[in-house]
Structure 1
Amino acid sequence: MKRSPVPNLILDPVRESLISSSGALLVREVVRVAGLERGLCQSLSSWRPGRARHDPGKVLLDVATAVALGGDCLADVAAVRAQPEVFGHVASDPTVSRVFAALAADADNAVAAIRQVHARARAAVWARRRPLAGTAGKRAGGQVVVDLDATLVTAHSEKEGAEPTHKKTFGFAPMCAFVDHGEHGTGETLAIELRPGKASPWNSADHIAILDAALAQLPEHERGQVLVRADTGAASKAFLHRITDLGLEYSIGFAAHDTVKAAIEAIPEQAWRAAVDGDGEARDGAQVADLTAWMPTPFRETYRSAHHKWPSGMRVIARRERPHPGAQLRLTDHNGWRITCFATNTKGPGWTLAALEVRHRQRARCEDRIRCLKDTGLRNLPFHDYAKNRIWVEVVTLAADLLAWTQTLAFDQTEPARRWEPKRLRFRILTVAGRIIRTGRRRRLRLPRDWPWNQLIDTGWHTLHTA
């Protein structure tokens, strides 16, 4: 019989004064750099009763911190409350519930107030270290890429607004907007609009609303050079005209309907060009072509007004590739090729068909952002009331950005930790245990001697604390 590698280990009932989320000290420093606590306390002061002990802004930030650490309901704020040396005094569960109830009673104004503070905090973070490579306002790495997408959140009980969805599930259908940090980072959550379950992923008004909310979250000088990416659900004339009227660029999935099928059949074979992968190398078995000139007449005809037709300057670009073994062909596929399309108004030097297609395909990173959101409080909305869940969604947005800003400000672009998803960031950095000692009239937080990622925490602390 093999002996245990840790013989005679038993649980001692005596408790020690430890910090179970020592790495979250980096998150607290990000809150300070961004001015988030002060801003929330000022913006939500009208929701604070006269003799209240706890400020609604601090309460909301404590809940967001708990969610950033992995919590998924109000009760999980107890983990933050148990560590006052790091997070300060935290309100009790009944007080937290009363704050959410007060904010939900005036949800529209509360959401607007939270988003204003969120936008100011983002501007402060970007002023300290812009998360995108290149120069603001320039296409070469400096362009801000805003990804839009809808997702589904399952409800496991009868909740206000929970309804059957278009995918035969039951719950909600929020619309999300993200900033893509590119290959050197993760991404930020600009806005989440909670919607009932039956909301359509093709609703142009919802896409316009989420785009307006997303642009309001960007620093003002960053709004002029934005690329909007989305799937085919956003391919409506109204939405594309909205983007065009704002002077922005777009790369939107375009459904392969009859007009596309007619163009595919009419386009000459020599019009197809080799597609490339993200590294610029030829992509085996994939080709791209500009279909615009071969689209049938109804696509290009004159309507009663400009907004009844597709915006001028729009190009429809198709990619064809051989389906992987076992995949079934669709009705819109042609001669054994899988056809997918997108619309864009991008023109200029360097933007070849292959480059535009790669840029659009990188929209897939949006799916990663949604998966990370669901790992940061969006998997299950905890309240029965729709208005309270709207406040919860704003908390999720704050929590997701606290993690993204921690990575942006604490680590250099070449550091792999800049691209870690929340689960790995929590396991390696945020939830390491430590001990607070008092010496020389100072309190010091000591980490485990052999923790493999001590150097990352030290580097992040030094970078943030010298701000």
Structure 2
Amino acid sequence: MNHSTHVFPALPTQLTGQALISRAGLSVLTSFLNALDFRQLCEDRFSQFVPATATHRPGKILGALALSLAAGGEQAADIDQLRVAPGLFGRVASDAMVSRFMGRIKVQPEAFSYGFATMARSLRSKIWAAAGPRNPARLATPANPLIIDLDASLVHVNSDKENSAGTYKGGYGYSPMIAMADYGKTNGTGGVLAVQLRPGNRGANSAKSHIEVLNQALAQLPDDFYDEHGNLHGEKILVRTDSAGSSREFLHHLQSLGIQFSTSYLLPVF
């Protein structure tokens, strides 16, 4: 018996000028996840978070959550958008099943974080390799390094939600620290490498936050950025921050890794 390794149904797509399925555009993403062998990668990393006999495996749950975000969803319950087109997305896990999956992750956060980081590294290696001559890892050199931007960004919420706090702009919400890769104008825009969730009252100039999110981002870079002993080729990376990243502790950390950096610092005028 043959078993499909696809996360979602593999359907041909063509333009007919007819509005047949409201979410048809998402078929590009379902085909993308199938081509990356997303189902098996998730099974290898996250099978401990679902019962062995569960019909909905980790790849289907995480894939559905990713698609719901692409469709404009804002919370886990928004995967109900996918249930209206079973021919396109197959069977979708119930809200209760997703909730139980999240509950198991909450019990073992370190295991999930490690699995996610290693999966992201595998996925990024495949995607960048498929870019051929535009592969950011192959293009990176000491003279033309891969740029990683670090910055905090405020996310406002309308109520006192879990771990939210007052922001320096007088609002309420979160202040995540984000690490993004800049591929350059001729190679596309870039992509998010890592995000550290933080309450809104966390300062943007926290050296600890900068170091933690950078370490998460570096762990997800493809093998081309490491030698055969697992040592980072820091000279092929340039970290770019505003003045919030100019703390001595963070700059010393970059120097210890051999990473190039560009930052700003306000000097007083006498």
- TM norm structure 2: 0.83
Structure 1 residues 118, 243: CA separation in 2 closer, same or farther (over 3 Å shift)?
A: same
2:58 is matched with 56
2:239 is matched with 228
2:79 is matched with 77
What code does the residue aligned with 2:215 have? Answer: D
2:181 is matched with 179
Uncovered stretches (5+) of structure 2, i.e. residues with no partner: 1-17, 226-231
Structure 1 residues 25, 213: CA separation in 2 closer, same or farther (over 3 Å shift)?
A: same
Structure 1 residues 51, 210: CA separation in 2 closer, same or farther (over 3 Å shift)?
A: same
Work out whether 1:205 is the aligned partner of 2:215: no
What code does the residue aligned with 2:218 have? Answer: L
1:115 is matched with 117
* Worse-superposed segment, 244-253 or 72-81: 72-81
Q: Distance in 2 between matches of 1:45 and 1:20?
A: 32
Work out whether 1:257 is the aligned partner of 2:267: yes
| Cα offsets for 1:47-97 (capped at 9, x unmatched) | 112432211332011111110122112222112222222222211122122
Structure with bigger gyration radius: 1
- SS of the aligned residue for 1:183 comes to coil
Q: Looking at secondary structure, tell me which structure has more strand per residue.
A: 1
Residue 132 of structure 1: CA displacement?
5.2
- SS of the aligned residue for 1:40 comes to helix
Q: Distance in 2 between matches of 1:183 and 1:132?
A: 14
- SS of the aligned residue for 1:65 comes to helix
Residues 36 and 118 in structure 1, CA contact (< 8 A), matched pair in contact too: no
Residue 215 of structure 1: CA displacement?
0.7
Residue 42 of structure 1: CA displacement?
2.0
Q: 2:157 aligns with which of 148, 155, 158?
A: 155
Q: Distance in 2 between matches of 1:155 and 1:45?
A: 33
Structure 1 residues 78, 144: CA separation in 2 closer, same or farther (over 3 Å shift)?
A: same
CA RMSD in angstroms, aligned pairs only:
2.2
Q: 1:88 aligns with which of 90, 98, 108?
A: 90
- SS of the aligned residue for 1:66 comes to helix
Higher relative CO (CA 8 A, sep ≥ 6), structure 1 or 2? 1
Uncovered stretches (5+) of structure 1, i.e. residues with no partner: 1-15, 263-467
Residue 122 of structure 1: CA displacement?
0.5
Structure 1 residues 111, 133: CA separation in 2 closer, same or farther (over 3 Å shift)?
A: closer
Residue 107 of structure 1: CA displacement?
2.1
- Map 1:37-436; keep pairs closer than 5 Å: 37-129=39-131, 131=134, 135-139=138-142, 142-184=144-186, 185-222=188-225, 224=233, 225-254=236-265, 256-258=266-268, 261-262=269-270
Residue 108 of structure 1: CA displacement?
2.6
Q: Distance in 1 between matches of 2:20 and 2:113?
A: 36
Q: Identity of paired residues, percent?
A: 33
Residue 133 of structure 1: CA displacement?
6.5
Q: Distance in 1 between matches of 2:131 and 2:79?
A: 30
- SS of the aligned residue for 1:81 comes to coil
- SS of the aligned residue for 1:72 comes to coil
